[in-house]
Structure 1
Amino acid sequence: MANFGRFVCVLVPFLLTLASLIAMLIAGLSGIADKSLYMFRVNVTDLQLSPLSVSKILDGSGIKVPSLDDINIPNIGTRQSQTNNITAADLGLYDVYDVNIWNYCYTSQNDTRACTKASFNWAATALNTTTGEFNSMLTSTGLNVTLPKEITDAVKAFGTVSKWTQIVFIIAYVALGVELFFGLFANCSRAFSCVTFLVAFIATVAVGAAAGLATATSVVVVGAVEASAKLYGVDADFNTRFLATVWLGVAFAVAAGLFWMFTICCCAPDHSSRHSRSRAAEGEKFMNQGPGYQRLSDPHGNGYQSGYAQQYPRQSYGPPQQHSGAYEPYSHARV
């Protein structure tokens, strides 16, 4: 019964660890296995950007900006008036961008959804390419006009945070896998339980860091878009399903760590039955030594004479006694 209790005590944190790994995989593989789940979304469907607004944005960065009346923007042509607004379609942008851990997905005007190929440090490559395309667009007149340093720095910062989020997610996956491996042997002894608890502590920290980085990235980007780009028709929101999934993984990891600690303090493996069986076996060995007892009155020695008496028979130090009718004080036959 004690062994069954130990098994249940180990099974609970093992299942919690498995649940944490599944939750982190669901969140981390959004956009790959589950394309309906995303970290945060940027919607540029209603983007309306006038050439005058672009001029003001660039002028605020300290760059000497030329007149944008005659700038030939791809898909737009030569602008003769600053009253015509630039839309997302004019800039070659999709309507909706869903950003994930390993890639991003996009939806076009005809509601066609597709996702880029998952890769490590995808944000740096994609954003640098996009920045270069915007710089090419702004310098289409041959003038040296680039995006402000504040914008390029923000793009680089997002790429760095996205890269570290991917790294921490990998560490969390590996730590949870190692925790499950040692958890398979935690039922054997407290030593395995202690090692599993130490690995669970590392896994919990990694899972919490991954969830924190993903949440912080989503909140910062959405907050920046809502504070500035919303004036030009750009909208952003973070996915509550993603946040609920990733923080549920954190909750499972914390609970698993606590239960692994209980397997060290409580629910110790029961070795009493094994010790009692070994003691019984040793007792049987001692009891079976020697031929046993034999009857002393048996003339052939086949009775219950002790083995000691057989090995060491009593020696006589006097002349043999003659059986006679005389009274013998120690003779039981006369009694």
Structure 2
Amino acid sequence: MGKVGRAACIVTPMALAIAALVCLVLVFLGNSKSSSTLGDLYFLKADTSEFRSNPLNISGVDDELLAALQTTVDSDLKDIYTVGLMNYCDGNKNSTGGYKLTYCSPRKSAYYFDPISTWGLNNTAVEGLVPDSLQNGLKIYRKVAKWMYAAYAVALACNAIEIVVGILAIFSRWGSFLTTFVSTAATIFTVAASVTSTALYVTIMGTFNSALKDYNIKASLGGKMLAVTWLASAFAIGAGLFWMLSTCCCSGRSSDKHNRGRGPVVEKAPYTYERVNSPFGTSNNNATNSNVPLRDMNGQHTGYEPYSHRNV
């Protein structure tokens, strides 16, 4: 029952670790046009449909920049751009107000979304007219995106290792200790990645809306992706706590482990008699055939073995 009880004790942290790993995998697979579920998993969405549909009504902007935007990107600009961990996708709105993704860029590590390059504004006169606030924000985004991707990659690897090492926890507390160590690393990097991605895309959203609001280009956060990454953090934290508890609870030892081969332990009552060995080296079975006479209280020979009488 000891090993069975220990196996039951680690079911909870193992399940939480698996759930955290699944969430992290979804973060990596998100922003894809292969399915609507994955397509809804993005960190940031830029809506440019208003600029494309009615550019002449935009007022209060740099006329030179507006003219350059109209001539350079109006014909190729999509309605929607979504940004994931490793790529971006674009698509057009439909009559019902929804949208369908039509293209997703190849996935690559440490990806960051550069609207100037994506919209074909680089190496043109428009590039120099882009607001400084947007250009500065993109420079910071480029640097932080590398750390963010590294944090997610390490978190994914640590969670996978945690599940494998967690099998050792079934057999001993040392296995739980080792798993707790790996789980701590997984928790730290998962939470760090979630904090970084949330802070980063909240900042980028604010920069987009501030620099491009006059052009009717609006940015919004992907709530589902943020929910998934924070669920991964919650699961990782829970797994770490339960792994830690398993190092001091559910030892896995059987209750009769130290009595194995000794038979049942019987508590001795006070004033009991115990068999003693013959002082002349004879066995108890041959005590009646020894040269030592055995007498009872009346001096008569008896066939009983000698006993010692002591107070226990």
TM over 0.5: yes
Match of 1:231 among 214, 218, 221: 214
Residue 22 (structure 2) pairs with residue 41 (structure 1):
no
Rounded to whole Å, the distance in 2 between the matches of 1:155 and 1:104 is: 15
Aligned residue pairs: how many? 266
User: 1:250: which partner in 2?
Assistant: 233
Rounded to whole Å, the distance in 1 between the matches of 2:208 and 2:198 is: 16
Q: Which moved more, 1:230-239 or 1:96-105?
A: 230-239
Q: Which moved more, 1:13-22 or 1:217-226?
A: 217-226
Mapping 1:6-25, distance limit 5 Å: 6-25=6-25
Aligned-residue sequence identity (percent) comes to 27
Rounded to whole Å, the distance in 1 between the matches of 2:217 and 2:156 is: 35
Q: Deviations over 1:215-259 (max 9, x none)?
A: 112211222223332221111111211111111111111111111
- Report the CA distance between 1:192 and its aligned residue: 1.2
User: 2:4: which partner in 1?
Assistant: 4
1:101 aligns to what SS in structure 2?
coil
Mapping 1:1-335, distance limit 5 Å: 1-32=1-32, 34-47=38-51, 48=55, 53-55=61-63, 86=70, 90=74, 92-108=76-92, 111=100, 113-123=102-112, 129-130=117-118, 133-138=120-125, 147=130, 150-280=133-263, 304-305=285-286
The answer to whether the 8 Å contact 1:44/1:88 transfers is no
The answer to whether the 8 Å contact 2:212/2:218 transfers is yes
Rounded to whole Å, the distance in 2 between the matches of 1:332 and 1:260 is: 69
Unaligned runs of 5+ in 1: 58-67, 74-84, 282-291, 295-303, 315-329
Of structures 1 and 2, the larger Rg is shown by: 1
- Report the CA distance between 1:265 and its aligned residue: 2.0
Unaligned runs of 5+ in 2: 95-99, 265-281, 292-298, 303-312
Change (3 A) 1:257 1:52: closer
1:204 aligns to what SS in structure 2?
helix
Q: Which moved more, 1:239-248 or 1:218-227?
A: 218-227
The answer to whether the 8 Å contact 1:45/1:88 transfers is no
Rounded to whole Å, the distance in 2 between the matches of 1:15 and 1:145 is: 52
Change (3 A) 1:266 1:25: same
Q: Deviations over 1:78-123 (max 9, x none)?
A: xxxxxxx828852632211000001111104675522111111332
TM norm structure 1: 0.68
- Report the CA distance between 1:145 and its aligned residue: 5.1
User: 2:279: which partner in 1?
Assistant: none
- AA aligned to 1:305 is N
Change (3 A) 1:280 1:220: same
Q: Runs of at least 4 residues of structure 1 off by over 4 A?
A: 49-52, 109-112, 144-150, 330-333
- AA aligned to 2:103 is A
- Report the CA distance between 1:27 and its aligned residue: 2.1
The answer to whether the 8 Å contact 1:88/1:95 transfers is no
Q: Deviations over 1:113-160 (max 9, x none)?
A: 221111113327x567448x4243317xxxx95656544332222122
Rounded to whole Å, the distance in 2 between the matches of 1:145 and 1:207 is: 38
The answer to whether the 8 Å contact 2:13/2:243 transfers is yes
Rounded to whole Å, the distance in 2 between the matches of 1:116 and 1:230 is: 25
The answer to whether the 8 Å contact 2:13/2:238 transfers is yes
Rounded to whole Å, the distance in 1 between the matches of 2:263 and 2:17 is: 41
1:13 aligns to what SS in structure 2?
helix
Change (3 A) 1:198 1:112: closer
- The RMSD of aligned alpha carbons is 3.6
Rounded to whole Å, the distance in 2 between the matches of 1:241 and 1:18 is: 19
